[in-house]
Structure 1
Amino acid sequence: MMPDENTSLWTRTCDARIATTPLDRDIEVDLAVVGGGFTGCSAARAAAADGARVALVEARTIAHGGSGRNVGLANAGLWLPPETIMAQMGEASGRRLLDALAAGPARVFDLIEAEGIPCEATRNGTLHLAHAPAGLADLRERFRQGNALGAPLALLDEAETARRTGSPAFHGALLDPRAGTVQPLAYCMGLALAAQRAGAMVHESTPVDTITHANGAWTLTANGHRLRAGAVLVATNGYHAGLRGVPAPRHATVHYSQFATAPLPETARARVLPGGEGCWDTALVMTSVRVDRAGRLIVGSMGNIDGPGRAIHASWARRKLARLYPDLAGTAIETSWQGRIAMTADHVPKVVSIGPRGYSIFGYSGRGIAPGTVFGEAAARALLADAPDALPIPVQDRHDEALTGAKTAYYEFGATVEHAIRPAPFG
């Protein structure tokens, strides 16, 4: 089937709706937020809850970008092992970031409960799956490093991994019980609705043309109107486009596609991820596996199904499904979609100063849910109080990366080649 980027599974299964209007007048606020994803909605909710006048403007619709196309894993930490993060950032800065992100899933699930967000929240942990013996060695090292820092990780053997996943394809797994899964678009929509209830103005269909700073205030122009603010947060991440006056986020772009079946038969549903854990594996071109509340099996990987490699990626998904669950070979893919990941060179998020009390935050490298929630709330506090130390990482005056376009092409080429040859055709 040909994918339609506007009709992901999450779009089809999100019951929540938000009533907004495009910006249609000049307004003045304490904080202007550009971008309606996890970071922007989290910041708007937190700032409005603290009594600030807040306006969130989104070029398309809430969670239109990567937030609404996410796998839905609320993980603690980043892709990188803890010791690598501390080596890159320094021990003090690295520990500060790791501590903030370790608490990220708890903050997500606390917000879901406090705000009554209906988003299929399942807090049964996540499984990092060893796709090969080398992958299991990597997980053993991550287990050692995580437990040394107090993370309650558990290393599962092959038999327990097969029991939890319903698949014999893995050599073991690393269980993080702090984490879980959500319906990502519904979670983001819930944050936006909570921001509205707290008093924030939310304007969809409001692309910002320019951002300028003069005389101690920011001015954003959008839809022919002016939005004046004491502070501004640009949270466009991998979907930044057409915004003049501030530096565009510098990062490579990784396309990530997902393929969902219809709800599985009860016999299969009782065996395939019966605990509802979200999973991803240790392969260089990683695979994610999860189920939603209705029992759909969702397999994802790097690759752009809106690009030239669409047929290769779609064929890979069918073969991968059969390799993981041989009895489900031939199960139809009901829905497919893709999103864009902002991948920084060191795989660490960036907070860049764009001027007085102005930040651009980007680069979660595929870990948007919990980090975006944490960074959004921290950014609201930091901007309103002019206190950059409230952020989990130091603010940078600038961030530049070379060859981002070439890296983007390289990632897609690598994923396409990998999907063309692996897994080998079944039968």
Structure 2
Amino acid sequence: MKDPEHSLWQDTCRERLSAAPLTADLTVDLAVIGGGYTGCSAALTAAQAGVSVCLLEGQEIGHGGSGRNVGLVNAGLWLPPAEIRSHLGQTVGNRLIDLLGKAPSDVFALIAEHGIECEPIRNGTLHCAHSKSGFRDLQTRHSQLSASGAPVELLPPEVTGARTGSGAFHGALLDPRAGTIQPLAYAVGLARAASDAGAQIFVQSPVQAMRHQNGQWELTTPGGKVRAKAVVQATNAYHHGLQDTAPAYVPVYYFQYATAPLSHNLRACILPDGEGCWDTGLIMTSFRLDQDGRMIIGGMGDLGHVGRAAHSAWVRRKLAALYPQLADQPLVQGWHGRIAMTSDHIPKITEIGPNALSAHGFSGRGIGPGTVFGRLMAESLLSEDPSCLPVPPVPDHRESWTGLRRAYFETGAALTHFIKARI
């Protein structure tokens, strides 16, 4: 198989963007660091507002988690509403719940407005109960989400089986607000839209140093310097250098494998409506079909780690358990991406200096939240109004034992997959 840093999405991306490295000094109103969903959304927002903006990406657009994830455009966070309110309080919690509940609508509206070719399907997502206890968890989530105004539906096993084409589940929670996309194409499409609106996009331009003096920021790259009144740092789990502003998080890897495109007969009985799915397992499984009919199945784990053999063996076993008719389907490609996990699973906005904000910690739900956070950070900086932000900014965010916790998650995922690959 190919290098796990190379995703299927790189091979199937139809969006194109002409961008080059920064090779001269530049002065702008807003500088954005990072070319994922958050950074591209911020750059697009600023450009549409008519201010000068540049985006600096150290690799290529969507190089990090934005170009390697499953492609589920979910509504909300992993946490049910009651837990969000317990962490943030009623007022802030309700605002975040409302903003992220509408995030899929924001994403699909941008796709339509800018003609982004990213295979958008908005037929909902299915949170599938892998056990009886998992279904009880979905009942709790359904109750809380419904009370918050979400149009979710709790599905019994027989309906879940018809929608997924699998008899492995005890039920599911359908969220019709959500959908699926080709994730890298969406990131590239946002960058292309920002460029069309007047943003200057630079790739292969890592920021090596940044300092604030005389009321301005100065960002240094190998090819030139950028001076800016304000900065959005949107590096999330792919932060390189700039240790003074590095976000604190637990790095967690999530991998995916893809089959070759399935036959029309198989596609007719597996996820016929195109929902994206994940289950209630402690070590979660996700699965969906892409536009060409490839089955894409994933779970927690680092394919560059010694546990790769256990992860790949588990995928084959899991695929056969979910869909026995796919037991002999070869896995033609595997890749992984890095997630920035916070201990409370709530994204953070930090004030990294005067007129400078950083966001991170989407904990595996970057598409909708990243789009929303990027837009609102740009609006806040341009209007000098922090009340625009989706969560109150903090001067600093710390996480303890991040290295040990990363090792704990990876070891747990590898052991779980090693055992389950053999039973």
Question: What is the TM-score when the length of structure 2 is the normalising length?
Answer: 0.99
| 1:323 corresponds to 2:328 | no
Q: What is the CA-CA distance between 1:372 and the residue it aligns to? A: 0.4
Look up the match of 1:145.
144
For residues 391 and 143 of structure 1, what CA distance do their matches in structure 2 show? 27
Which amino acid counterpart does residue 354 of structure 2 have in structure 1?
A: P
| 1:367 corresponds to 2:379 | no
Which amino acid counterpart does residue 58 of structure 2 have in structure 1?
A: A
Look up the match of 1:74.
73
Output aligned runs, 1:297-308, within 5 Å: 297-308=295-306
Judged with a 3 Å threshold, the aligned counterparts in structure 2 of structure 1 residues 254 and 6 are, in CA distance, closer, same or farther, namely closer
List runs of 5+ in structure 1 lacking aligned partners: none
Contact 1:72-1:183 at 8 Å conserved across structures = yes
Which amino acid counterpart does residue 362 of structure 1 have in structure 2?
A: H
- Residue 288 of structure 2: which of 284, 287, 290 is its match? 290
Which amino acid counterpart does residue 45 of structure 1 have in structure 2?
A: L
Look up the match of 1:258.
256
Which amino acid counterpart does residue 380 of structure 2 have in structure 1?
A: A
For residues 97 and 364 of structure 2, what CA distance do their matches in structure 1 show? 16
Q: What is the CA-CA distance between 1:247 and the residue it aligns to? A: 2.2
RMSD: 0.9
Q: Which stretches of structure 1, 4 residues or longer, exceed 4 Å deviation after superposition? A: none
Look up the match of 1:401.
399
Q: What is the CA-CA distance between 1:86 and the residue it aligns to? A: 0.1
For residues 223 and 171 of structure 2, what CA distance do their matches in structure 1 show? 56
Look up the match of 2:337.
339
Contact 1:164-1:274 at 8 Å conserved across structures = yes
Q: What is the CA-CA distance between 1:266 and the residue it aligns to? A: 1.0
Q: Which digits, 9 at most, give the CA deviation of each residue in 1:234-259, with x for residues without a partner?
A: 10000001125x32110001100000
Which amino acid counterpart does residue 399 of structure 1 have in structure 2?
A: H
Which amino acid counterpart does residue 10 of structure 1 have in structure 2?
A: W
| 1:219 corresponds to 2:252 | no
Q: What is the CA-CA distance between 1:5 and the residue it aligns to? A: 3.1
Q: Which digits, 9 at most, give the CA deviation of each residue in 1:313-354, with x for residues without a partner?
A: 011111111000012112100111000000000000000001
For residues 212 and 131 of structure 1, what CA distance do their matches in structure 2 show? 50
- Structure 1 window deviating more from structure 2 (276-285 vs 222-231): it is 222-231
Look up the match of 2:45.
46
Q: What is the CA-CA distance between 1:17 and the residue it aligns to? A: 1.7
For residues 168 and 411 of structure 1, what CA distance do their matches in structure 2 show? 29
| 1:312 corresponds to 2:316 | no
Q: Which digits, 9 at most, give the CA deviation of each residue in 1:372-395, with x for residues without a partner?
A: 000010011011111111111000
Q: What is the CA-CA distance between 1:7 and the residue it aligns to? A: 2.6
Q: Which digits, 9 at most, give the CA deviation of each residue in 1:295-316, with x for residues without a partner?
A: 0000000001111111110111
Contact 1:59-1:204 at 8 Å conserved across structures = yes
For residues 138 and 262 of structure 1, what CA distance do their matches in structure 2 show? 34
| 1:273 corresponds to 2:262 | no
For residues 294 and 256 of structure 1, what CA distance do their matches in structure 2 show? 22
Output aligned runs, 1:181-260, within 5 Å: 181-244=180-243, 246-260=244-258
Q: What is the CA-CA distance between 1:265 and the residue it aligns to? A: 1.1
Question: What is the TM-score when the length of structure 1 is the normalising length?
Answer: 0.98
Q: What is the CA-CA distance between 1:18 and the residue it aligns to? A: 1.0
Q: What is the CA-CA distance between 1:423 and the residue it aligns to? A: 5.0
For residues 386 and 403 of structure 2, what CA distance do their matches in structure 1 show? 31
Q: What is the CA-CA distance between 1:6 and the residue it aligns to? A: 4.0
Look up the match of 2:414.
416
For residues 372 and 224 of structure 1, what CA distance do their matches in structure 2 show? 28
For residues 226 and 4 of structure 2, what CA distance do their matches in structure 1 show? 30
Q: What is the CA-CA distance between 1:398 and the residue it aligns to? A: 0.7
Contact 1:257-1:338 at 8 Å conserved across structures = yes
For residues 239 and 52 of structure 1, what CA distance do their matches in structure 2 show? 27
Q: Provide the aligned length of Structure 1 versus Structure 2.
A: 423
| 1:115 corresponds to 2:114 | yes
What SS class does the counterpart of residue 346 from structure 1 fall into?
coil
Contact 2:205-2:223 at 8 Å conserved across structures = no
List runs of 5+ in structure 2 lacking aligned partners: none
Q: What is the CA-CA distance between 1:224 and the residue it aligns to? A: 4.3
Look up the match of 2:33.
34
Which amino acid counterpart does residue 179 of structure 1 have in structure 2?
A: A
Look up the match of 2:156.
157
Contact 1:322-1:329 at 8 Å conserved across structures = yes
Look up the match of 1:388.
386
For residues 321 and 179 of structure 1, what CA distance do their matches in structure 2 show? 24
What SS class does the counterpart of residue 256 from structure 1 fall into?
strand
Contact 1:254-1:343 at 8 Å conserved across structures = yes
Q: Which digits, 9 at most, give the CA deviation of each residue in 1:238-295, with x for residues without a partner?
A: 0001125x32110001100000000111111001101000000001100001000100
Contact 1:153-1:174 at 8 Å conserved across structures = yes
Contact 1:165-1:273 at 8 Å conserved across structures = yes
Q: Which digits, 9 at most, give the CA deviation of each residue in 1:38-72, with x for residues without a partner?
A: 00000000110110100000000000000000100
Contact 2:254-2:299 at 8 Å conserved across structures = yes
Q: Which digits, 9 at most, give the CA deviation of each residue in 1:130-168, with x for residues without a partner?
A: 000000000000000000010000000000000010000
What SS class does the counterpart of residue 340 from structure 1 fall into?
strand
| 1:12 corresponds to 2:11 | yes
What SS class does the counterpart of residue 174 from structure 2 fall into?
strand
What SS class does the counterpart of residue 274 from structure 1 fall into?
coil
